[in-house]
Structure 1
Amino acid sequence: MIRKVMITAGACAWLALLSSPATAATDKANNADTYRLLSLFGDVFERVRNEYVEPVSDEELIEAALNGMLTSLDPHSGYLNPKSFRDMQVQTKGEFGGLGIEVTMENGWVKVISPIDDTPAAKAGLQPNDFITHLNGEPVQGLSLNDAVDRMRGPVNTDLKVTVRRDGQAPFEVTLTRAVIKIQTVKYKLQDNVGYIRVSQFVESTDTNLRKAIDQLKKDGGANLQGFVLDLRNNPGGLLDQAVAVAGDFLDKGEIVSTRSRHPEDTQRFNAHGKDLTDGMPLVVLINDGSASASEIVAGALQDHRRAILLGTKSFGKGSVQTIMPLKDHGAMRLTTARYYTPSGRSIQAVGIEPDIKVLPSKVEALNQPNDHFGRSEASLPHALKNDTLPKTQAKPESDAKTEDGKAPAPAAPQPQPAADGKTPPAGAPSALMEALRMGDPATDYQLARAIDLLRGLSLYKGAAKAN
């Protein structure tokens, strides 16, 4: 009876174990050991169901056993019960309910890989490498990753209080309101004649929307378009085919990624077969420690082909591929089935991708110069020669201007600058530079400002080379 329950509840998993080619090739002694171990599992299962202090269903025990077996392999393998499997299928379509946060498990705590743009988690200020230690006051240690994720999900408009531990800070609590997460994975705008494209995740619609963004930016920029910035910061990854398609949008030919599994004959290579939609224009890719998995595939391919300059900080370092294997009437298993390699043959597993130019997130403020140094130049010196190439009607340099009393005017007092919503902040409001960095605005996003400067330099150099 025990084995009947075990085989019924996890038929696909156990039958795969007993009938796989590798097992069939082993000798009789190994087969006997396998059956003895399965018998041991049956004995433990029977004792737990009969003698545990509280009743527990057979289904719960089997699901926990399956999940324990898979999660012991690596952080990304696991069992998905039917509900979790449905949630995962919905998420890859770009719309789901929850907090909007990509997580993994580390040392028994939930570790944030990346919050997803414009979600409750992102708006609350959660950051990559934050650790979630408690959910509604209850510790997460002892929970599986799937259990922790299930507790973070819930009805829309309900609150969840999470306790966060961040390096260099005391633990703090954040209350998040669950919402329907509709992911707009591609955002774009023309910024100072540079096409800025932000890709926050790789779902089924990502490549289609990226192509539309590139086409629109080329129309908006016209002949003045100097290049593109592809922002993959805090992009936790997603679908492999979408990563391959996105990388192919910037390459004419060549390998994008290869995957190598346990059996050499299962090696796969994915190549670019289309056309560089940007016509070879300068490209800078922004990455950081929240850039993982599929986003690392794109960054690695563009770096190896020297198609783009990578700028930012080292990526997350997830160099493995997971396959979702449905189990009839019992959800699915997520199993790590391969490692992936960039076109040059390097694995980024646990080491990440180093950017070509390392730029830490920073804020830059103009130095306040003393009044006696304000506007100092050749034109401010007494009896300075006039510029003989300027039209006579042109006004004198600003430094030569005098007030009615014959003195040079005092420098104007700094004026409040409009906020992002176009409104002027009230007096005493914190400077935008003192606020958290906002991606997509070079005034407060130092990494993006550096990327735009780099593109301008490349564009000027390319134009000079053509002229010569």
Structure 2
Amino acid sequence: MAFKSVNLIEQHCKGGRHMTVITRTFRIVTGSLCISMLLIFHSPGPWSYAAESKTYEQIKILVDILGYIKENHVKDVETQDLVYGAASGMVSVLDPFSQFMEPRMHKEMKVETKGEFGGLGIRISIKDNWLSVITPIPGTPAYKMGILPNDRIIKIEGESTKGISLMEAVEKMRGKPNTDVTITVAREVMDENKEPITETKDYTITRAIIKIESVRGRMLDDTIGYVRLIEFTRQTDIDLEKKLHELADEGMKNLILDLRNNPGGLLNIAVDVCDSFLAKDQLIVYTHGRDKARRMDYVAKRNNDFEQIPLIVLVNEGSASGSEIVAGALQDNKRAIIMGSRTFGKGSVQSVISLSDGSALRLTTAHYYTPSGRIIHREEDSEIWGVDPNITVDVPREIQAKLRAQEELIFEKGKKPAPGISEEERVEDELLNRAIQGFKTRELFRKMEISKTAQTEPEQTNDE
């Protein structure tokens, strides 16, 4: 491979001396880089025994290309730019959730998990080679503009997003607060004949500092408490416990836990949320990667004040990752009734590996499984994925958009109309109403054999 490429250079160079200089210099560069790669592959660590001849030959191709570019490209190129580009390219062939993060992006990610960052306020993924919205974050610019789960962002500032990486998309959409960015959204809607069609629309959204209020809640009546978990940040479990005790002091005897459009977040926080509702030692979730024998179980570790409160959990297609873990654990442990529509299907574990220069590798290393052994993650052409509700209530996307505009009605249950929403424009939250009715009649709990005393732990199965 290397000599074939050198011959191409020779054919385009006039004069043997010039050819010799290029070839000699290239061989010195290549040799140095190969030695460096050999040192890496022979150093202590997980790759210590991977430096077989075939692996070395494949790595040598990469080194050869790097050497050619450094010596012969028409413009001077920084080695770091080439290495970062190669790293991004390698990771891009893996899966939509793995990514290489340059130092600045790695720093932004750490800020994001703390619950405050700048941008539009949407969680995104790559789906069928297009940028797709997992969910907008309530209260953010994107949320207020009416962006919905499963919207496909086909353009950013007029440029197609087909084939774009997550990192590139984030960089394009983030920016200084109070500046605008225009995105073009493709959305599937129903026409007058109830046939699905795709509509496209431009949204010009003003960037803002995104502060995530991860827990919101109130009493819906004298006995039914309502808590919405917006996202799993570092503060969520603490804020949830505080909110639950506040509602208990107000007379809460039943709880509706709303995980709709919750995109997930930190795994350990999702586990801690489950811990608030499960008995000690009940299985919450388990993970394993390529080596199925290396299974990791997460179980409830403490007794708490709310492990027997009657519970209904609301989910939809925007419920992903951590929210699917919570819904799946409570469902499999027969601890709650799940209502709504099938969840998103993002059940992969990303490990963040910090690198020496401040960059990082976000690598998918395992999948989540519910206590009964169901896989959450949705692969291409999969039929089994996500969490299917016990009671299916599909809310049309146009109704979801209207509910967004009157979010206060969800919390106030009609007691305090949202500003700017007329009586004619108001819509009922059918899913929330069904949950309230379920508590009042108790029929759902009798049918599902779920009650305060239903604490049966499901059989823990190993995946084959």
- Which residue number corresponds to residue 15 of structure 1? 40
Separation of aligned partners in 1, 2:415 and 2:325 = 39
2:432 pairs with 1:448: yes
Counterpart amino acid of residue 121 in structure 2: G
- Which residue number corresponds to residue 155 of structure 1? 176
What is the CA-CA distance between 1:148 and the residue it aligns to? Answer: 1.2
Please show how residues 261-272 of structure 1 align to structure 2 within 5 Å: 261-264=289-292, 266-272=294-300
2:459 pairs with 1:432: no
Separation of aligned partners in 2, 1:419 and 1:190 = 13
- Larger Rg belongs to: 1
Q: Is the 8 A contact 1:6 1:62 kept in 2?
A: no
What is the SS of the residue equivalent to 2:85?
helix
What is the CA-CA distance between 1:430 and the residue it aligns to? Answer: 4.2
Q: Is the 8 A contact 2:325 2:370 kept in 1?
A: yes
Relative to structure 1, is the Cα distance of residues 358 and 459 closer, same or farther in structure 2, using a 3 angstrom cutoff?
A: closer
What is the SS of the residue equivalent to 1:157?
coil
What is the SS of the residue equivalent to 1:73?
coil
TM-score (norm: length of structure 1): 0.77
Please show how residues 346-357 of structure 1 align to structure 2 within 5 Å: 346-350=374-378, 351-357=385-391
Relative to structure 1, is the Cα distance of residues 421 and 341 closer, same or farther in structure 2, using a 3 angstrom cutoff?
A: closer
Relative to structure 1, is the Cα distance of residues 420 and 352 closer, same or farther in structure 2, using a 3 angstrom cutoff?
A: same
Counterpart amino acid of residue 451 in structure 1: A
Counterpart amino acid of residue 290 in structure 1: G
- Which residue number corresponds to residue 133 of structure 1? 154
Q: Is the 8 A contact 2:120 2:173 kept in 1?
A: yes
Counterpart amino acid of residue 83 in structure 2: I
- Which residue number corresponds to residue 228 of structure 1? 255
2:433 pairs with 1:361: no
What is the CA-CA distance between 1:121 and the residue it aligns to? Answer: 1.1
Counterpart amino acid of residue 420 in structure 1: P
Separation of aligned partners in 2, 1:460 and 1:151 = 47
- Which residue number corresponds to residue 140 of structure 2? 119
What do you get for the CA RMSD once the two structures are aligned? 2.8
- Which residue number corresponds to residue 319 of structure 1? 347
Counterpart amino acid of residue 356 in structure 1: N
Separation of aligned partners in 1, 2:227 and 2:359 = 36
What is the SS of the residue equivalent to 2:248?
helix
Q: 2:210 aligns with which of 171, 181, 188?
A: 181
Counterpart amino acid of residue 38 in structure 1: I
What is the SS of the residue equivalent to 2:168?
helix
TM-score (norm: length of structure 2): 0.77
Q: Deviations over 1:71-112 (max 9, x none)?
A: 211111110110010000001111111111110112332110
Counterpart amino acid of residue 208 in structure 2: A
What is the CA-CA distance between 1:169 and the residue it aligns to? Answer: 3.5
What is the CA-CA distance between 1:458 and the residue it aligns to? Answer: 2.1
Please show how residues 400-419 of structure 1 align to structure 2 within 5 Å: none
2:213 pairs with 1:216: no
Q: Deviations over 1:330-385 (max 9, x none)?
A: 41100111112111122122111100000011569xxxxxxxxxxxxxxxxxxxxx
Relative to structure 1, is the Cα distance of residues 130 and 53 closer, same or farther in structure 2, using a 3 angstrom cutoff?
A: farther
Separation of aligned partners in 2, 1:255 and 1:227 = 23
Separation of aligned partners in 1, 2:46 and 2:249 = 56
Q: Deviations over 1:415-457 (max 9, x none)?
A: xx986247894xxx74212xxxxxxxxxx21111111111222
Separation of aligned partners in 2, 1:108 and 1:321 = 20
Q: Is the 8 A contact 2:41 2:48 kept in 1?
A: no
- Which residue number corresponds to residue 199 of structure 1? 229
What is the CA-CA distance between 1:259 and the residue it aligns to? Answer: 1.4
Separation of aligned partners in 2, 1:329 and 1:89 = 16
- Which residue number corresponds to residue 93 of structure 1? 114
What is the CA-CA distance between 1:53 and the residue it aligns to? Answer: 5.7
Count of residue correspondences: 389
- Which residue number corresponds to residue 329 of structure 2? 301
Gaps of 5+ in 2: 1-28, 189-196, 379-384, 401-413, 453-464
Which shifted more, 256-265 or 140-149?
256-265
Relative to structure 1, is the Cα distance of residues 422 and 322 closer, same or farther in structure 2, using a 3 angstrom cutoff?
A: closer
Separation of aligned partners in 2, 1:424 and 1:124 = 15
What is the SS of the residue equivalent to 1:127?
coil
Q: Is the 8 A contact 1:164 1:174 kept in 2?
A: yes
Relative to structure 1, is the Cα distance of residues 424 and 201 closer, same or farther in structure 2, using a 3 angstrom cutoff?
A: closer
Separation of aligned partners in 2, 1:352 and 1:304 = 13
Q: Is the 8 A contact 1:418 1:424 kept in 2?
A: no
Relative to structure 1, is the Cα distance of residues 17 and 256 closer, same or farther in structure 2, using a 3 angstrom cutoff?
A: farther
Q: 2:270 aligns with which of 243, 254, 275?
A: 243
Counterpart amino acid of residue 245 in structure 2: D
Separation of aligned partners in 2, 1:312 and 1:14 = 54
Q: 1:255 aligns with which of 269, 272, 283?
A: 283
Separation of aligned partners in 2, 1:14 and 1:117 = 49
Counterpart amino acid of residue 267 in structure 2: L
Quote the sequence identity (%).
40
Q: Is the 8 A contact 1:2 1:42 kept in 2?
A: yes
What is the SS of the residue equivalent to 1:110?
strand
Gaps of 5+ in 1: 365-416, 434-443
- Which residue number corresponds to residue 39 of structure 1? 60
Counterpart amino acid of residue 60 in structure 2: S
Q: 1:76 aligns with which of 97, 104, 127?
A: 97
Q: Is the 8 A contact 1:23 1:31 kept in 2?
A: no
Separation of aligned partners in 1, 2:146 and 2:31 = 49
Counterpart amino acid of residue 211 in structure 1: E
Separation of aligned partners in 2, 1:79 and 1:49 = 22
Q: Deviations over 1:230-284 (max 9, x none)?
A: 1111111111110110001001121111111334564211111222432512100
What is the CA-CA distance between 1:176 and the residue it aligns to? Answer: 0.8
Q: Is the 8 A contact 2:276 2:307 kept in 1?
A: no
Counterpart amino acid of residue 301 in structure 1: A
